[in-house]
Amino acid sequence: MDRAGKLAEGFAEAVAHWVDLQWSATIEHLRMVAPQTHGRLLDVGCGQKPYYDIIKPHVDEYVGIEYAPAFVETASSTKGKRGPDIVYDGDRMPLPDESFDTVMCIQVLEHTPKPQALLDDIARVLRPGGLLVISAPFSFRLHEEPNDYFRYTPHGLRKMLESAGLEVTSTLQQGGFWSVV
């Protein structure tokens, strides 16, 4: 692609992020919680690690993991930026128990056909007293089809996290009427 094409693509992406209120809210909330992240961090469903620059200054190590088939099927694998450090089959993350101080799972849960199993596995790799930063949509357009399976209420997500043995200490509402419209 020539220079003009790259500039046009970059401009289109910037406008899309400005118009997409859901994306803006995600970034705003991540900036708010980033100082709480620490130690060794695992980004579950990292794609091209779009949150790396926000989180990396607060952690010692940033490790990204991705479900191999979904990564290959989406645009994430073609943008040529950062990629996952680990790809796996989606059943059990090939990581030792209690090996991360912080786990981040941002807008990924809706893309797994077995979300409770993923949360259980996240709880397994999170150290006791560790921090999970998770975001999942309630009202959002279909995306990355056909791998878009679920939407979550705050109450349902809390139940799932508690079933995985995790304690919910804080929640932030992301968006509202205008981001849904």
Report DSSP state, residue 91: S
* Tokens of residue 59, six digits: 């952690």
Please give the pLDDT value at position 149.
Answer: 73
pTM over 0.85: no
Sheet of 86-88, strands arranged across: 86-88, 61-67, 40-44, 100-106, 126-135
CB 125 within 8 A of CB 103: yes
- Give me the mean pLDDT over the 137-150 stretch: 74
List pLDDT tens digits, range 113-130.
999 999 999 999 999 999
* Tokens of residue 144, six digits: 């990355």
CA distance to 3, 20, 54, 124, per residue, from 7 (Å): 6, 20, 23, 43
List pLDDT tens digits, range 13-47.
555 544 455 667 778 889 999 999 999 999 999 99
